[in-house]
């Protein structure tokens, strides 16, 4: 992988095991806009980025060499050896072969803590397009303007201080429904420091889960998503309705299985790389609708 400064942006050539579309569309991030095939606009860390991929080359526009090195390189997890991760997982479990072959280019993004927390609180009992819509609405109303790409305007996600000053009714107006009080509670607890990213960084993963679950509307699944996507703990294995169906199909003979049992199995099966296995399985299984309707047969 080599980085060049060109007139149209920062070019990263020779990228391996990375697919921009898969990485953004796999359901880990809800704050981006597809501008064209393999071409996206997004905001993170208060900055607007225009990014595209052609083959093994990534082009980062609307940014500087410095921002690429300090922000986007880490955000897209470009320095991690995904070939090694796949090798590790496949050596333990050949049932992952189909998913990993199909979804060969997923990276797990290193996303911002507060936005990830709120996004996954919103995610409960909602489909991905709706989650994106609510995240976008909250950003537009309460985030700061980040710029424009074509006729598309972008707003950064608001920080905890800003969102903690927004009342529940206003959050409800963003179509958040019954999640509005949860979002307010999360903003309060992060703003006051009762839940802080810095403190979480010093805790064990189990302690992180307990701390995050003090927030209303955060249970095991949401906590695990925050731990995986924002705290860079790749052993976390969030179990949602899709993962449950997929795991039941692949590992439990199609039988209804408790979430705790699935968690325990995943921990044993995938160990420190559970989060990667989860993403390969989630995105692939969802794409082929694995396990849908099996219970009706």
Partner DNA sequence: CGCCAGGGCACCG
Partner DNA sequence: CGGTGCCATGGC
Residues that bind DNA (CB under 7 A): 26-28, 123-130, 133, 172, 175, 177-178, 213, 216-223, 225, 238, 240-243, 258, 278-279, 282-283, 286
By C-beta, is 202 or 293 nearer to DNA?
Answer: 293
By C-beta, is 52 or 123 nearer to DNA?
Answer: 123
Q: Which residues contact 142 (CB under 8 A, 6 or more apart)?
A: 158, 162, 163, 166
Number of Cβ within 10 Å of residue 55's Cβ equals 9
Phi then psi dihedrals of residue 145, to 5 deg: -65, 130
The CB-of-243 to DNA minimum distance in angstroms stands at 5
Q: Is the dihedral of CA 3, 5, 6, 10 positive or negative?
A: positive
By C-beta, is 40 or 283 nearer to DNA?
Answer: 283
CB-count burial class (<10 Å; 0-12, 13-18, 19+) for 222: buried
The CB-of-66 to DNA minimum distance in angstroms stands at 30
Nearest to 164 by CA among 185, 181, 145, 149: 185
**Contact (CB, 8 A) for 92 and 269:** yes
The CB-of-20 to DNA minimum distance in angstroms stands at 16
The CB-of-7 to DNA minimum distance in angstroms stands at 36
The H or E element spanning position 155 is strand 152-155
The CB-of-225 to DNA minimum distance in angstroms stands at 6
By C-beta, is 110 or 279 nearer to DNA?
Answer: 279
By C-beta, is 16 or 127 nearer to DNA?
Answer: 127
**Contact (CB, 8 A) for 49 and 31:** no
The CB-of-51 to DNA minimum distance in angstroms stands at 19
Q: Is the dihedral of CA 158, 132, 219, 176 positive or negative?
A: positive
The CB-of-245 to DNA minimum distance in angstroms stands at 8
By C-beta, is 68 or 282 nearer to DNA?
Answer: 282
Nearest to 12 by CA among 52, 42, 39: 52
By C-beta, is 9 or 291 nearer to DNA?
Answer: 291
CA atoms of 106 and 277, how far apart (whole Å): 11
């Amino acid at each position: 992988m080599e980085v060049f400064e060109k007139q149209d942006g920062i070019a990263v050539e020779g990228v391996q095991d990375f697919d921009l579309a898969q990485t953004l569309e796999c359901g880990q991030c809800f704050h981006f806009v597809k501008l064209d095939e393999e071409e996206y606009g997004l905001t993170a860390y208060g900055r607007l980025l225009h990014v595209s991929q052609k083959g093994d080359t990534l082009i980062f526009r609307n940014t500087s060499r410095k921002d690429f090195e300090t922000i986007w390189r880490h955000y897209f997890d470009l320095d991690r050896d995904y070939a090694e991760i796949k090798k590790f997982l496949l050596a333990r479990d050949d049932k992952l072969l189909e998913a990993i072959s199909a979804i060969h280019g997923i990276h797990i993004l290193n996303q911002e803590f507060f936005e990830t927390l709120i996004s996954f609180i919103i995610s409960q009992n909602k489909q991905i397009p709706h989650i994106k819509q609510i995240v976008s609405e909250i950003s537009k109303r309460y985030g700061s303007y980040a710029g424009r790409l074509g006729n598309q305007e972008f707003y950064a996600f608001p920080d905890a201080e800003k969102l903690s000053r927004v009342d529940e009714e206003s959050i409800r107006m963003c179509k958040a429904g019954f999640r509005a009080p949860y979002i307010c509670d999360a903003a309060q607890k992060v703003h006051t420091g009762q839940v802080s990213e810095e403190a979480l960084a010093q805790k064990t993963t189990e302690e992180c889960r307990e701390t995050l679950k003090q927030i209303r509307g955060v249970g095991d699944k949401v906590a695990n998503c925050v731990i995986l996507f924002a705290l860079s703990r790749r052993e976390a294995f969030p179990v949602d309705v899709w993962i449950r169906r997929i795991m039941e199909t692949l590992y439990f003979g199609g039988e209804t299985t408790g979430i705790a049992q699935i968690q325990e199995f995943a921990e044993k099966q995938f160990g420190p790389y559970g989060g990667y296995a989860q993403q390969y399985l989630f995105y692939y299984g969802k794409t082929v609708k694995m396990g849908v309707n099996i219970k009706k047969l």
